């Protein structure tokens, strides 16, 4: 190979080598740039995450609805209670005071149903049409059912109070010379009805204190009437005083004294701010008559 041919071959290889190195470098640079500029794919939200968000929103809506229903339930029950109290206030139309309630009806107080039925019907409608709609849980539904039975309880308390007043009207003044030989049927029926009502109330949840307070007050009133008539039966009549034994008269005086003491103490039963003055006056008169007779006998013995 001559010198000219050798130079040509060497030159051609060098050029090829240079060209090959540039292409490799460019390829490396391009690859590097692609690696640096490559963007991460967007994070896709799973279906479980979406359903979880929807469930949370649904739970929140349910809680809000439940709270709203509870508020409406309480409002409906409050309105029903108010109607029940208005009904019981109708029974107290003859009681002292413009704002008298059923608890202010004493043995000497006349009692009448008046317009109570209208209020009882309104309370029943509120509980049936409104409260029942918003009562969701079993406990709430049971509560509404209990309130609906108060119509019957209030009516029975009214009937017992009528028996109490009727019994009171049979206590006459000593000067009228009445005769007593047995307990009036109105006292017996009043006690029987009161006992039966107590058994029924024992199986109920009494949410209104007014009902329990009136029931307890009536028990006290019936007890005082029963003791008063026990004393009167032992007396018989003012005409029979002299023929009664000392034991009988002492028993009658003790009964009258006990009734007077309880009537003179307003705190003995509700209402604790006043007493039944008319009832108290009658029993005091009988106590005085019997006590005077016992004093006369005691003086004769001395």
CA distances (Å), origin 217, targets 112, 228, 271: 18, 17, 9
Q: 275 and 184 share a domain?
A: yes
CA distance 150 to 240: 47
Give the pLDDT score at 14. 42
Write the DSSP assignment of 208-257 as a string of letters: -HHHHHHHHHHHHHHHHHHHHHHHHHHH--GGGGGGS-HHHHHHHHHHHH
Q: How many domains does the chain fold into?
A: 2
196 inside domain = yes
CA distance 127 to 148: 7
44 inside domain = no
C-beta separation of 224 from 163 below 8 A: no
CA distance 262 to 255: 11
27 inside domain = no
Q: 165 and 191 share a domain?
A: no
Q: 163 and 187 share a domain?
A: no
291 inside domain = yes
Token pair belonging to 191: 């006690």
pLDDT, tens digit, for every residue of 181-208?
A: 999 999 999 999 999 999 999 999 999 9
CA distances (Å), origin 199, targets 45, 163, 202, 215, 221: 64, 19, 5, 12, 19
Q: How confident is the model at residue 281 (pLDDT cuts 50, 70, 90)?
A: very high
Q: Which residue range forms the structural domain that includes residue 241?
A: 178-203+221-302
pLDDT, tens digit, for every residue of 199-237?
A: 999 999 999 999 999 999 999 999 999 999 999 999 999
CA distance 243 to 261: 27
pLDDT, tens digit, for every residue of 7-59?
A: 344 444 443 443 444 444 444 444 444 444 555 455 455 555 555 555 555 55
Q: 182 and 159 share a domain?
A: no
226 inside domain = yes
Q: How confident is the model at residue 115 (pLDDT cuts 50, 70, 90)?
A: very high
Closest of 86, 84, 87 to residue 127, by C-alpha: 84
pLDDT, tens digit, for every residue of 71-100?
A: 999 999 999 999 999 999 999 988 876 678
Token pair belonging to 49: 């995450």
Q: 114 and 153 share a domain?
A: yes
CA distance 66 to 57: 14
CA distance 292 to 249: 10
Q: 103 and 134 share a domain?
A: yes
Q: 236 and 187 share a domain?
A: yes
284 inside domain = yes
CA distance 153 to 1: 135
CA distance 46 to 54: 13
Q: 163 and 227 share a domain?
A: no
Q: 160 and 199 share a domain?
A: no
Cis status of the peptide bond prior to 271, with omega within 30 of 0: yes
Give the pLDDT score at 42. 55
Closest of 166, 164, 180 to residue 219, by C-alpha: 164
94 inside domain = yes
Compute how many other C-beta atoms are within 10 angstroms of the C-beta atom of residue 111. 23
Q: CB-side exposure of 60: number of CA atoms within 13 Å?
A: 6
Q: 87 and 186 share a domain?
A: no
Q: How confident is the model at residue 111 (pLDDT cuts 50, 70, 90)?
A: very high
Q: 265 and 282 share a domain?
A: yes
Show which of 126, 151, 169 is a domain's final residue: 169
Flag whether pLDDT at 279 surpasses 80.
yes
- Rounded mean pLDDT of the chain? 84
More confident residue, 51 or 273: 273
pLDDT, tens digit, for every residue of 127-163?
A: 999 998 999 899 999 999 999 999 999 999 999 999 9
For residues 250, 220, 172, 104, the Cα torsion angle rounded to the nearest 10 degrees is: 150
Flag whether pLDDT at 259 surpasses 90.
yes
CA distance 160 to 110: 12
79 inside domain = yes
Q: 244 and 144 share a domain?
A: no
């Amino acid at each position: 190979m001559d010198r000219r041919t050798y130079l040509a071959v060497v030159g051609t290889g060098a050029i090829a080598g240079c060209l090959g190195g540039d292409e490799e470098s460019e390829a490396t640079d391009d690859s590097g740039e692609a690696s640096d500029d490559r963007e991460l794919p967007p994070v896709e939200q799973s279906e479980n995450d979406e359903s979880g968000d929807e469930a949370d929103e649904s739970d929140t809506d349910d809680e809000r609805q439940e709270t709203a229903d509870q508020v409406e339930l309480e409002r409906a029950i409050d309105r029903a209670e108010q109607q029940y109290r208005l009904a019981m206030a109708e029974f107290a139309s003859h009681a002292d005071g413009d704002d008298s309630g059923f608890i202010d009806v004493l043995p000497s107080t006349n009692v009448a149903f008046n317009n109570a039925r209208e209020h009882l019907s309104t309370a029943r409608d509120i509980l049936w049409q409104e409260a029942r709609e918003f009562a969701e849980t079993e406990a709430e539904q049971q509560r509404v059912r209990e309130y609906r039975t108060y119509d019957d309880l209030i009516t029975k308390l009214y009937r017992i109070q009528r028996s109490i007043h009727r019994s009171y009207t049979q206590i006459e003044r000593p000067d009228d010379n009445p005769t007593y030989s047995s307990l009036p049927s109105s006292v017996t029926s009043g006690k029987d009805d009161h006992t039966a009502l107590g058994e029924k109330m024992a199986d109920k949840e009494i949410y209104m204190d007014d009902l329990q307070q009136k029931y307890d007050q009536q028990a006290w009133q019936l007890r005082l009437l029963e003791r008063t008539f026990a004393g009167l039966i032992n007396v018989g009549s003012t005409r029979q005083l002299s023929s009664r034994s000392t034991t009988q008269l002492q028993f009658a005086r003790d009964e009258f004294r006990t009734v007077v003491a309880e009537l003179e103490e307003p705190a003995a039963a509700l209402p604790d701010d006043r007493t039944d003055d008319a009832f108290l006056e009658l029993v005091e008169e009988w106590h005085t008559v019997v006590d005077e007779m016992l004093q006369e006998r005691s003086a004769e013995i001395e």
